[in-house]
Structure 1
Amino acid sequence: MTPVTRPRLLLVEDDPATTDYVRQGLRENGIDVVCVADGNDGSRQALSQPWDIIILDRMLPGLDGLAILMRMRSHAITTPVLFLTTMDGVPSRVAGLRHGADDYMVKPFALRELVARVQVLLRHASPVRHATVMTVADVELNLLTLAVTRNGEKVFLQPQELKLLEYFMRNAGTVLSRQMLLKDVWHMDFPVRTNIVETHVCRLREKLGQSGQSLIHTVRGSGYVMGA
């Protein structure tokens, strides 16, 4: 049986209470949510990997939501975008929609309505937004079957190892800090003392094997990067 792929949503919101509220509501409705609180980080995430939908605040530290949207559309990224903001004036709504937003909601808002609007955008979105097979060097990951191969040979991974590999592959060539991995793979948005990242990276390297030719490299003092 082919596993059901949960939609992936990027939430760019700097208010912790709103973030927790939205994230919980969406996850309860079968949507995986990755949260960032800074506009620059939000722009990097929006441009570096595919998403099924993106929710943007308008006023953000670093880079405002409208600028993020304009960057996306200038790069021909057609991912549906919903603005969730306190900017409720008609000029603000018109600016957001004219620059490529698909929907616009004003705070305070009803969570049920937000979930409904997200579900509508997901139904109307293209069913084939991005490739179902990801490739980095000789490693392939099928996003539908979750099958992993290296140089044509099957690699058997546990669910969390699969999530970690997918995150590395989506961000190939980018140095990923330990905190980024904890936040985006394990959804730990708070400082925590654990070696869970190091343990899983070590296991993933071992399982990918290939005579010691690791594709996941340690960048001393910074984190990890995946690449040939």
Structure 2
Amino acid sequence: MRTLIVEDEKKLADALAFLAKKQNIDFDIAYDGDTGWMLAKKGIYDVIVLDIMLPGIDGLEILRRIRENRMSTPVLLLTARDSIADRVKGLDLGADDYLVKPFATQELFARIRSLYRRISKDYSNDMLKVSNVEFLSDSQVMKISDIEIKLSIKEAQLMEMFMRAPKRTFSRDYILDKIWGYDSDVSENNIEIYIHYLRKKLENKTSVKIVTVRGVGYTLKEK
């Protein structure tokens, strides 16, 4: 689970990052709003934790830009105890949750895990279904109506990612990180090639399609 925390209290941010390792949460840190937005817009994070009061761009503006750019990454806001108006505005802008300072670190990590589970649901079986498309992760087979299509490893990884979170927009950086690995030297052309392969397999056979969201990435939708 890769998480971005944008928090200008350096000691707090560093302490959270240290403790997060024991929770199997990988934290990147930004200590100001400008750096926070620069990292957030890469679209490589599973969850973003945003303090509202930040030097530079404030947390609400970062949140507004995230949603304006059609990024569906879950966002948790950190707010002051008396900032009810900010909490309301944050929820209206598309925040998924908020936590009032001071908070218990265990509660923060629990909320992060809860947000993560929303986008990577723990299915009780290996069969995923969207419309008339089924995906069997253990055998890497995509089934459209009664037709079974064997997928390559990368095709299967991409299809599983899309089908576990239909309608979510995945950035190219996120896909490279999740499918090929953050340190891989694979280019974005590889993504386009495999997206093309999957589109050909879905073409004229189903109401499901992989849509390019210009400037952001890809999403799975019903036609």
Give the TM-score normalised by structure 1. 0.55
Residues 132 and 143 in structure 1, CA contact (< 8 A), matched pair in contact too: no
Distance 1:169 1:26 in 2: 30
Distance 1:98 1:81 in 2: 12
Sequence identity (%): 40
How many positions carry a matched residue from both structures? 143
1:195 maps to what in 2?
none
1:225 maps to what in 2?
none
Residues 134 and 169 in structure 1, CA contact (< 8 A), matched pair in contact too: no
2:14 maps to what in 1?
20
After TM superposition, give the deviation of residue 85 of structure 1 in Å. Answer: 2.7
1:45 aligns with 2:39: yes
After TM superposition, give the deviation of residue 23 of structure 1 in Å. Answer: 1.0
1:62 maps to what in 2?
56
2:93 maps to what in 1?
99
Distance 1:61 1:101 in 2: 20
Q: State the one-letter code of the partner of 1:89.
A: S
1:143 aligns with 2:150: no
**Cα-to-partner distance string for 1:159-216 (whole Å, 9 max, x where unaligned):** xxx64447x969xxxxxxxxxxxxxxxxxxxxxxxxxxxxxxxxxxxxxxxxxxxxxx
1:117 aligns with 2:152: no
Q: State the one-letter code of the partner of 1:75.
A: N
**Cα-to-partner distance string for 1:56-95 (whole Å, 9 max, x where unaligned):** 0111111000000000100111100001132533212111
Trace 1:81-92 onto structure 2 (pairs within 5 A).
Answer: 81-86=75-80, 88-92=82-86
What RMSD over aligned residues (CA atoms) do the two structures have, in Å? 2.8
1:3 maps to what in 2?
none
- Per the alignment, in what secondary structure is the counterpart of residue 10 of structure 1? strand
- Per the alignment, in what secondary structure is the counterpart of residue 83 of structure 1? strand
Distance 2:95 2:108 in 1: 15
1:74 aligns with 2:68: yes
Q: What are structure 2's unaligned runs of at least 5 residues?
A: 121-163, 189-223
Distance 1:99 1:132 in 2: 21
- Per the alignment, in what secondary structure is the counterpart of residue 143 of structure 1? helix
- Per the alignment, in what secondary structure is the counterpart of residue 82 of structure 2? coil
Distance 1:96 1:142 in 2: 29
Higher strand proportion? 2
**Structure 1 residues 130 and 100, CA, compared in 2 at 3 Å: closer, same or farther?**
closer
After TM superposition, give the deviation of residue 21 of structure 1 in Å. Answer: 2.0
- Residues 126-135 or 98-107, more deviating: 126-135
- Per the alignment, in what secondary structure is the counterpart of residue 117 of structure 2? helix
- Per the alignment, in what secondary structure is the counterpart of residue 109 of structure 1? coil
Distance 2:114 2:102 in 1: 20
Distance 1:132 1:67 in 2: 20
**Cα-to-partner distance string for 1:104-151 (whole Å, 9 max, x where unaligned):** 11111101111111111111125445669869xxxx95734x4xxxxx
Give the TM-score normalised by structure 2. 0.57
- Per the alignment, in what secondary structure is the counterpart of residue 34 of structure 1? strand
Residues 176 and 182 in structure 2, CA contact (< 8 A), matched pair in contact too: no
1:108 aligns with 2:102: yes
Distance 1:112 1:46 in 2: 24
After TM superposition, give the deviation of residue 96 of structure 1 in Å. Answer: 1.0
